[in-house]
Amino acid sequence: MQDGFKLNAYYKVQIRFTDFRVPDPPTGNKDGVITYPLSTWINDNLSYFSEWSTVCLIRGISKPEIFLNGFDDQSDLTTFTLGDIFVSGSVLFEDGDSECLKSYHIKLYDDYGNLIKDSGEIYADPYNGTNQLSYDYEYAFEDGSTYTVTIGITTNNLYSTNDNPKSYTFTVTQYGYDTLDATISAIADRENGRIGIHIKGVKTDTFVGSLTIRRTSSKSNFKSWEDVHTEVLEGNTSLDYIWYDSTIESGVWYKYCVQKRNSRGHRGVIL
């Protein structure tokens, strides 16, 4: 179709295969008119053609564009702070196109090209905006390291970019002014089958702020981190806080870290 498919229109399509011996279709014309019409050529060469396939439907859509917040498509490298490392964005279609996002697939690679996180297929959430993208890596990024994230999408009518995903490269830096001046230690509570995480400030100064405790385990070979608890401390005392993790499993090894969070939710240096 020289003019392309019309948006939001469905077309019926059938396919026929031809034998490799079929003569070439006519190309000669006189005064702009084909002297041997294509329909005549088909009828004269029916013995070279297979039966028609079943009827299938196709639909023309505009080419979807992926936009991730914080990334500049004109830049080869983006810098993120720890508190901003998550996927948030959208998929845009031309005005008037009723096509929408069905699912998306996100992969995270380290600077050596090793796959370190694979989201699997994530289905779009119609309650959070049909064409919106959202994903938390749950990974402990290293200060100064470089990573690449790829994202492929599938639309409602099964147009897919998973074989040729869009990629972004970024590097990580930490918030130095949100360093938590404290120590962290574990308290074994065998009687109740839980672990206590004790965070104690080095200084006796009054502490006001938010703490987020993160956890990883031997189940992921200590590569996948998750937030397990966030606490807002507004007391008039120095930092001396204990939280008990009651969701641990027998036979699994765990590691914990803690980060200070500022008023915008940005994370400080891992302790």
Q: In the chain, what are the domain boundaries?
A: 10-59, 65-173, 177-261
Give 264's Cβ-side CA count (13 Å radius).
Answer: 8
The pLDDT of residue 140 is 75
The pLDDT of residue 150 is 93
The pLDDT of residue 152 is 94
In CATH terms, 65-173 corresponds, of 2.40.30.10, 2.60.40.1220, 2.40.50.140, 3.40.50.300, to 2.60.40.1220
Give 111's Cβ-side CA count (13 Å radius).
Answer: 10
Domains 65-173 and 177-261 alike in fold: yes
Q: Mean pLDDT for the chain?
A: 82
CA dist 219 → 139, 142, 249 (Å): 14, 21, 10
Tokens of 24: 């070439």
The model's pTM is 0.58
The pLDDT of residue 26 is 65
In CATH terms, 177-261 corresponds, of 2.60.40, 1.10.3470, 1.10.600, 1.20.120, to 2.60.40
Query: Cβ(225)–Cβ(139) under 8 Å?
Result: yes
Q: Each residue's pLDDT tens digit in the chain (271 positions)? A: 456 778 888 889 888 887 767 767 666 666 656 666 777 777 888 888 888 889 988 888 888 999 888 887 777 888 877 656 778 889 998 888 888 899 999 999 988 889 988 999 999 877 666 788 888 887 777 777 889 999 999 998 889 999 999 999 988 876 555 677 888 888 988 888 899 999 888 887 788 778 888 888 888 777 777 888 888 887 777 888 899 999 888 888 998 888 887 666 666 667 7
The pLDDT of residue 162 is 92
Q: Per-residue DSSP letters for the chain?
A: -TT-PPBT-EEEE----B-TTPPPPP--EETTEESS-HHHHHHHTGGGB-PPPPPEEEEB-PPPEEEETT--TT-S-EEEEGGG-SEEEEEE--TT----EEEEEEEEE-TTS-EEEEEEEEE--GGG-TTEEEE---B-PPTT-EEEEEEEEEETT--B-TTS-EEEEEEEE-BGGG---EEEEEEEEGGGTEEEEEEEESS-SB--EEEEEEEEEGGGTT-B-EEEEEEEE--SSB-EEEEEE----TT--EEEEEEEE-TT--BB---
The amino acid that residue 13 corresponds to is: V
